[in-house]
Amino acid sequence: MVIGVRVLRVAAMGVGALGGLSGATYKLLTDQSRRARLVIGVQEDPPPCADGFHRTDGVPDSPGEPLRFAVLGDSMAAGVGVDRADELPGVLLARGLAAEAERPVRLETHAVSGSTTRTLPRQVDRVLQDPPDVALVIVGANDVTSRMAAGVSAALLGVEVRRLRAAGIGVVVGTCPDLGAVRLLAQPLRSVARTWSLNLARAQRREVLRAGGVPVPLADLLAPEFLTRPTEMFSADGFHPSAAGYVRAAEVLLAPLCTVAGVWRGGPLPVLPRRSAAAEARRPTTRFVAWLNRSARHLPPAG
Q: pLDDT tens digit string along 154-203?
A: 999 999 999 999 999 999 999 999 888 887 776 777 777 888 889 999 99
- pLDDT at site 47: 77
Above 70 in pLDDT, residue 124? Answer: yes
Is 113 labeled as catalytic in the residue annotation? no
DSSP state for residue 46 in the 8-state scheme: P
Is 237 labeled as catalytic in the residue annotation? yes
Q: pLDDT tens digit string along 10-27?
A: 444 444 444 444 454 444
C-alpha torsion angle, residues 267, 271, 276, 280 (rounded to 10): -170
| Distance in angstroms (rounded) separating the CA atoms of residues 31 and 186 | 10
Concatenate the DSSP letters of all residues of 130-185 into one string. S--SEEEEE--HHHHHTT--HHHHHHHHHHHHHHHHHTT-EEEEEPPP-GGG-TTS
Long-range contacts of 237-241 (CB under 8 A, 24+ apart): 237/39, 237/40, 237/41, 237/43, 237/81, 238/39, 238/40, 238/182, 238/183, 238/184, 239/1, 239/3, 239/40, 239/81, 239/182, 239/184, 240/1, 240/75, 240/76, 240/80, 240/81, 241/76, 241/81, 241/82
Is residue 188 within 8 A of residue 285, CB to CB? The reply is no
| Distance in angstroms (rounded) separating the CA atoms of residues 116 and 73 | 8
Catalytic residue among 115, 133, 240, 242: 240
Strand partners, 172: 136, 214
Above 80 in pLDDT, residue 2? Answer: no
Q: pLDDT tens digit string along 131-145?
A: 999 999 999 988 887
Catalytic residue among 33, 75, 153, 197: 75
Q: pLDDT tens digit string along 203-247?
A: 999 999 999 999 999 998 998 888 888 888 888 877 789 999 999
pTM (two decimals): 0.77
Give the CA count within 13 Å in the CB-facing half-sphere of 25.
26
Q: Is the sign of the CA dihedral 220, 212, 73, 55 positive or negative? A: positive
Q: Looking at this protein, which amino acid is placed at residue 257?
A: L
Catalytic residue among 22, 31, 62, 237: 237
Identify the CATH number of the domain defined by range 50-284.
Answer: 3.40.50.1110
Is 51 labeled as catalytic in the residue annotation? no
| Distance in angstroms (rounded) separating the CA atoms of residues 145 and 11 | 7
Three-class DSSP category at 108: strand
| Distance in angstroms (rounded) separating the CA atoms of residues 226 and 207 | 26
